[in-house]
Amino acid sequence: MTAVGDATTTRALPANLSPALADVPQDTPSPTTGDGISCMVDLLDTSIARDPAGTCVFGDPTADTTVVLAGDSHAYQWLPALEAVAVQRGWRVVSMTKSGCPLYDVRLVNTLLKRDYRECYAWRGEVLARIAAEKPDQVLLSAFTGSEKPDPGFTGRWADGVEKTVGGLRAQGIGVTVLADTPYPRRDVPECLAAHLDDARACAVPRDEALSDPTRRAATLRAARQAGASTVDPTAWFCTRSTCPVVVGTTVVYSDNSHMSATWSTATRRLLADELARISPVLTG
Protein backbone atom coordinates (compact mmCIF):
# COMPACT_ATOMS: atom_id res chain seq x y z
CA MET A 1 0.00 0.00 0.00
CA THR A 2 1.41 3.35 -1.05
CA ALA A 3 -0.31 5.03 1.90
CA VAL A 4 1.56 2.81 4.36
CA GLY A 5 4.88 3.68 2.78
CA ASP A 6 4.05 7.38 2.89
CA ALA A 7 3.06 7.04 6.55
CA THR A 8 6.58 6.12 7.62
CA THR A 9 7.58 9.77 7.21
CA THR A 10 4.62 11.22 9.12
CA ARG A 11 5.72 13.52 11.92
CA ALA A 12 3.00 15.71 13.47
CA LEU A 13 -0.41 14.09 13.86
CA PRO A 14 -2.89 15.31 11.22
CA ALA A 15 -5.24 18.02 12.45
CA ASN A 16 -8.14 16.11 10.89
CA LEU A 17 -7.41 12.81 12.62
CA SER A 18 -10.63 10.78 12.58
CA PRO A 19 -11.64 9.82 15.15
CA ALA A 20 -9.88 12.30 17.41
CA LEU A 21 -6.97 10.83 19.33
CA ALA A 22 -8.86 10.88 22.63
CA ASP A 23 -11.59 8.75 21.05
CA VAL A 24 -9.33 6.14 19.45
CA PRO A 25 -9.41 3.72 22.45
CA GLN A 26 -13.19 3.50 21.97
CA ASP A 27 -12.85 2.97 18.20
CA THR A 28 -13.78 -0.70 18.39
CA PRO A 29 -16.15 -2.79 16.26
CA SER A 30 -19.73 -1.59 16.47
CA PRO A 31 -21.97 -3.39 13.96
CA THR A 32 -24.51 -1.26 12.14
CA THR A 33 -26.47 -4.04 10.42
CA GLY A 34 -28.47 -6.97 11.73
CA ASP A 35 -29.54 -6.58 15.35
CA GLY A 36 -26.35 -4.68 16.23
CA ILE A 37 -25.35 -7.24 18.88
CA SER A 38 -21.72 -8.08 18.17
CA CYS A 39 -21.53 -11.68 19.50
CA MET A 40 -18.07 -10.98 20.92
CA VAL A 41 -18.24 -12.73 24.30
CA ASP A 42 -16.05 -12.52 27.39
CA LEU A 43 -13.80 -14.99 29.19
CA LEU A 44 -16.44 -16.78 31.26
CA ASP A 45 -19.09 -16.94 28.55
CA THR A 46 -19.75 -20.28 26.83
CA SER A 47 -22.67 -19.21 24.64
CA ILE A 48 -22.26 -17.64 21.22
CA ALA A 49 -24.13 -14.46 22.18
CA ARG A 50 -24.24 -12.91 25.66
CA ASP A 51 -27.60 -11.35 24.80
CA PRO A 52 -30.19 -14.06 24.04
CA ALA A 53 -31.58 -11.75 21.36
CA GLY A 54 -28.30 -11.77 19.47
CA THR A 55 -28.47 -13.54 16.11
CA CYS A 56 -24.81 -12.89 15.21
CA VAL A 57 -26.01 -12.10 11.67
CA PHE A 58 -24.83 -8.98 9.83
CA GLY A 59 -24.80 -7.64 6.29
CA ASP A 60 -27.81 -8.82 4.27
CA PRO A 61 -29.72 -11.36 6.40
CA THR A 62 -31.63 -12.66 3.37
CA ALA A 63 -28.60 -13.17 1.12
CA ASP A 64 -27.80 -16.52 -0.48
CA THR A 65 -24.08 -16.18 0.26
CA THR A 66 -23.03 -16.71 3.88
CA VAL A 67 -19.59 -15.96 5.34
CA VAL A 68 -18.72 -16.91 8.92
CA LEU A 69 -16.10 -15.00 10.92
CA ALA A 70 -14.86 -16.93 13.95
CA GLY A 71 -12.04 -16.84 16.49
CA ASP A 72 -10.72 -14.59 19.23
CA SER A 73 -10.60 -10.80 19.45
CA HIS A 74 -8.08 -10.73 16.59
CA ALA A 75 -10.79 -12.26 14.41
CA TYR A 76 -13.38 -9.85 15.80
CA GLN A 77 -11.27 -6.86 14.77
CA TRP A 78 -11.99 -7.76 11.12
CA LEU A 79 -15.76 -7.40 11.55
CA PRO A 80 -15.92 -3.71 10.45
CA ALA A 81 -14.13 -4.56 7.19
CA LEU A 82 -16.17 -7.70 6.58
CA GLU A 83 -19.47 -6.02 7.39
CA ALA A 84 -18.68 -3.22 4.92
CA VAL A 85 -17.87 -5.74 2.19
CA ALA A 86 -21.00 -7.74 2.98
CA VAL A 87 -23.21 -4.67 2.61
CA GLN A 88 -21.59 -3.80 -0.70
CA ARG A 89 -21.66 -7.29 -2.17
CA GLY A 90 -24.86 -8.63 -0.68
CA TRP A 91 -23.53 -11.24 1.73
CA ARG A 92 -24.86 -12.59 4.96
CA VAL A 93 -22.18 -12.57 7.67
CA VAL A 94 -22.29 -14.63 10.87
CA SER A 95 -19.73 -13.38 13.40
CA MET A 96 -18.86 -15.52 16.44
CA THR A 97 -15.87 -14.49 18.54
CA LYS A 98 -14.66 -14.88 22.11
CA SER A 99 -11.95 -13.20 24.13
CA GLY A 100 -8.71 -15.18 24.13
CA CYS A 101 -10.29 -18.16 22.37
CA PRO A 102 -9.18 -19.19 18.87
CA LEU A 103 -11.38 -21.71 17.12
CA TYR A 104 -8.33 -23.91 16.55
CA ASP A 105 -8.46 -27.16 18.54
CA VAL A 106 -5.72 -26.48 21.07
CA ARG A 107 -5.84 -26.54 24.86
CA LEU A 108 -4.99 -23.23 26.53
CA VAL A 109 -4.12 -21.90 29.96
CA ASN A 110 -5.78 -18.50 30.22
CA THR A 111 -3.36 -16.07 31.83
CA LEU A 112 -6.11 -14.01 33.47
CA LEU A 113 -8.03 -16.98 34.83
CA LYS A 114 -4.75 -18.78 35.65
CA ARG A 115 -6.20 -22.15 34.72
CA ASP A 116 -7.28 -24.36 31.85
CA TYR A 117 -9.58 -22.32 29.63
CA ARG A 118 -12.52 -24.72 29.69
CA GLU A 119 -15.05 -22.00 28.75
CA CYS A 120 -13.21 -21.70 25.46
CA TYR A 121 -13.71 -25.37 24.65
CA ALA A 122 -17.44 -25.22 25.41
CA TRP A 123 -17.80 -22.12 23.23
CA ARG A 124 -15.94 -23.81 20.36
CA GLY A 125 -18.45 -26.64 20.44
CA GLU A 126 -21.32 -24.18 20.13
CA VAL A 127 -19.66 -22.35 17.24
CA LEU A 128 -18.80 -25.50 15.32
CA ALA A 129 -22.39 -26.72 15.70
CA ARG A 130 -23.66 -23.38 14.38
CA ILE A 131 -21.27 -23.55 11.43
CA ALA A 132 -22.41 -27.08 10.60
CA ALA A 133 -26.03 -25.90 10.66
CA GLU A 134 -25.30 -22.77 8.59
CA LYS A 135 -23.36 -24.60 5.85
CA PRO A 136 -21.65 -21.30 4.92
CA ASP A 137 -19.87 -20.61 1.66
CA GLN A 138 -16.74 -19.56 3.51
CA VAL A 139 -15.39 -19.51 7.05
CA LEU A 140 -12.81 -16.87 7.95
CA LEU A 141 -10.57 -17.75 10.89
CA SER A 142 -7.97 -15.64 12.63
CA ALA A 143 -6.27 -15.59 16.01
CA PHE A 144 -3.70 -13.72 18.05
CA THR A 145 -0.25 -15.23 17.55
CA GLY A 146 1.90 -12.38 18.81
CA SER A 147 3.05 -13.58 22.21
CA GLU A 148 5.89 -16.06 22.43
CA LYS A 149 5.14 -19.09 24.62
CA PRO A 150 7.73 -20.44 27.09
CA ASP A 151 6.55 -24.00 26.41
CA PRO A 152 8.69 -25.26 23.47
CA GLY A 153 5.99 -27.73 22.46
CA PHE A 154 3.20 -25.20 22.17
CA THR A 155 3.81 -24.24 18.55
CA GLY A 156 3.52 -27.86 17.46
CA ARG A 157 0.29 -28.36 19.39
CA TRP A 158 -1.05 -25.08 18.00
CA ALA A 159 -0.29 -26.14 14.43
CA ASP A 160 -1.95 -29.51 15.05
CA GLY A 161 -5.02 -27.67 16.33
CA VAL A 162 -5.14 -25.46 13.24
CA GLU A 163 -4.93 -28.50 11.00
CA LYS A 164 -7.59 -30.41 12.93
CA THR A 165 -10.11 -27.56 12.95
CA VAL A 166 -9.58 -26.61 9.32
CA GLY A 167 -9.64 -30.26 8.26
CA GLY A 168 -12.93 -30.83 10.07
CA LEU A 169 -14.56 -27.90 8.31
CA ARG A 170 -13.17 -28.88 4.92
CA ALA A 171 -14.51 -32.42 5.41
CA GLN A 172 -17.98 -30.85 5.51
CA GLY A 173 -17.34 -29.20 2.15
CA ILE A 174 -16.97 -25.74 3.69
CA GLY A 175 -14.47 -23.29 2.24
CA VAL A 176 -12.01 -22.00 4.84
CA THR A 177 -9.71 -18.98 4.79
CA VAL A 178 -7.17 -18.36 7.53
CA LEU A 179 -6.17 -14.73 7.99
CA ALA A 180 -2.67 -14.37 9.41
CA ASP A 181 -2.54 -12.29 12.55
CA THR A 182 -2.04 -8.55 12.29
CA PRO A 183 1.29 -7.00 13.31
CA TYR A 184 1.61 -6.55 17.07
CA PRO A 185 2.80 -3.12 18.28
CA ARG A 186 3.22 -4.26 21.92
CA ARG A 187 2.60 -0.74 23.22
CA ASP A 188 -0.55 1.27 23.76
CA VAL A 189 -0.58 3.20 20.52
CA PRO A 190 -2.99 6.03 21.48
CA GLU A 191 -0.98 6.62 24.68
CA CYS A 192 2.27 6.67 22.73
CA LEU A 193 0.88 9.14 20.20
CA ALA A 194 -0.43 11.38 22.96
CA ALA A 195 3.15 11.58 24.25
CA HIS A 196 4.57 12.23 20.75
CA LEU A 197 2.11 14.58 19.09
CA ASP A 198 4.85 16.13 16.98
CA ASP A 199 6.44 12.91 15.76
CA ALA A 200 4.30 9.83 15.14
CA ARG A 201 7.41 8.05 13.92
CA ALA A 202 8.41 7.59 17.56
CA CYS A 203 5.52 5.15 17.94
CA ALA A 204 6.14 3.16 14.75
CA VAL A 205 7.24 -0.44 15.24
CA PRO A 206 10.05 -2.23 13.41
CA ARG A 207 8.54 -4.93 11.20
CA ASP A 208 10.63 -7.72 12.74
CA GLU A 209 9.44 -6.74 16.20
CA ALA A 210 5.80 -6.42 15.15
CA LEU A 211 5.81 -9.88 13.59
CA SER A 212 6.69 -11.52 16.88
CA ASP A 213 6.61 -15.30 17.29
CA PRO A 214 7.41 -15.78 13.58
CA THR A 215 7.68 -19.55 14.00
CA ARG A 216 4.08 -19.89 15.14
CA ARG A 217 2.91 -17.40 12.52
CA ALA A 218 4.49 -19.50 9.77
CA ALA A 219 3.27 -22.77 11.29
CA THR A 220 -0.30 -21.46 11.38
CA LEU A 221 -0.40 -20.73 7.66
CA ARG A 222 1.46 -23.91 6.74
CA ALA A 223 -0.92 -26.11 8.77
CA ALA A 224 -3.95 -24.29 7.33
CA ARG A 225 -2.81 -24.90 3.76
CA GLN A 226 -2.00 -28.55 4.48
CA ALA A 227 -5.55 -28.99 5.74
CA GLY A 228 -7.05 -27.42 2.62
CA ALA A 229 -7.60 -23.79 3.63
CA SER A 230 -6.74 -20.70 1.67
CA THR A 231 -4.57 -18.18 3.47
CA VAL A 232 -4.27 -14.40 3.50
CA ASP A 233 -1.31 -12.55 5.02
CA PRO A 234 -2.30 -8.88 5.53
CA THR A 235 1.13 -7.72 6.74
CA ALA A 236 1.66 -5.51 3.67
CA TRP A 237 -1.53 -3.65 4.58
CA PHE A 238 0.21 -2.51 7.77
CA CYS A 239 3.95 -2.47 7.17
CA THR A 240 6.69 -1.67 4.70
CA ARG A 241 9.64 -4.04 4.48
CA SER A 242 11.12 -2.44 7.58
CA THR A 243 8.49 -0.46 9.48
CA CYS A 244 4.90 -0.65 10.68
CA PRO A 245 3.58 2.91 11.08
CA VAL A 246 0.73 3.53 13.51
CA VAL A 247 -0.85 6.50 11.71
CA VAL A 248 -1.77 6.15 8.04
CA GLY A 249 -3.31 9.17 6.39
CA THR A 250 -5.77 10.50 8.95
CA THR A 251 -6.31 7.16 10.70
CA VAL A 252 -4.70 5.67 13.81
CA VAL A 253 -4.15 2.01 12.96
CA TYR A 254 -4.48 0.57 16.48
CA SER A 255 -6.98 1.27 19.26
CA ASP A 256 -4.72 -0.19 21.96
CA ASN A 257 -1.53 -2.29 22.14
CA SER A 258 -2.77 -5.02 19.85
CA HIS A 259 -6.07 -4.49 18.03
CA MET A 260 -6.89 -2.60 14.86
CA SER A 261 -9.03 0.46 15.27
CA ALA A 262 -12.45 -0.02 13.72
CA THR A 263 -11.72 2.87 11.36
CA TRP A 264 -8.59 1.19 10.05
CA SER A 265 -10.35 -2.17 9.78
CA THR A 266 -12.99 -0.51 7.61
CA ALA A 267 -10.25 1.11 5.54
CA THR A 268 -8.94 -2.35 4.58
CA ARG A 269 -12.28 -3.47 3.18
CA ARG A 270 -11.28 -3.31 -0.49
CA LEU A 271 -8.09 -5.26 0.15
CA LEU A 272 -10.02 -7.92 2.06
CA ALA A 273 -12.71 -8.05 -0.62
CA ASP A 274 -10.12 -8.55 -3.36
CA GLU A 275 -8.46 -11.39 -1.45
CA LEU A 276 -11.76 -13.17 -0.83
CA ALA A 277 -12.75 -12.77 -4.48
CA ARG A 278 -9.41 -14.33 -5.47
CA ILE A 279 -10.09 -17.26 -3.16
CA SER A 280 -13.67 -18.04 -4.16
CA PRO A 281 -15.77 -17.12 -7.22
CA VAL A 282 -18.82 -17.09 -4.95
CA LEU A 283 -17.35 -14.10 -3.13
CA THR A 284 -16.78 -11.89 -6.16
CA GLY A 285 -20.00 -10.03 -5.41
CATH number at residue 228: 3.40.50.1110
Domain contains 285: no
Task: Please give the residue range of the domain that contains residue 216.
Answer: 2-279
* Contact in structure between 130 and 48 (CB atoms under 8 Å): yes
CA neighbor of 281 nearest in space, from 65, 81, 86, 87: 65
Residue-level pLDDT at 126: 97
> Looking at the domain assignment, is residue 31 inside a domain?
yes
Q: Which long-range contacts (CB under 8 A, 24 or more apart) does 128-136 make?
A: 128/103, 128/168, 130/48, 130/56, 130/94, 130/96, 131/68, 131/70, 131/169, 131/174, 132/172, 134/66, 134/68, 134/94, 135/66, 135/172, 135/174, 136/66, 136/67, 136/68, 136/94, 136/174
Cβ neighbours around 176 below 10 Å, total: 24
* Tens-place pLDDT, residues 222-233: 999 999 999 999
Residue 112 lies in a domain: yes
Q: Give the pTM.
A: 0.96
User: Is 191 inside any structural domain?
Assistant: yes
| Residue 115 within a domain | yes
Q: What is the pLDDT of residues 89-131, one digit of tens each?
A: 999 999 999 999 999 999 999 999 999 999 999 999 999 999 9
Number of structural domains in the chain: 1
Q: Does residue 159 lie within any of the structural domains? A: yes
Structural domain includes residue 179? yes
Q: Do 183 and 236 touch, CB atoms closer than 8 A?
A: no
Q: What is the DSSP code (8-state) at residue 66?
A: E
Q: Tell me what pLDDT residue 2 has.
A: 75
Answer whether residue 284 is part of any domain: no
What band does 148 get if pLDDT is binned at 50, 70 and 90?
Answer: confident
pLDDT tops 90 at residue 211: yes
Chain length of the chain = 285
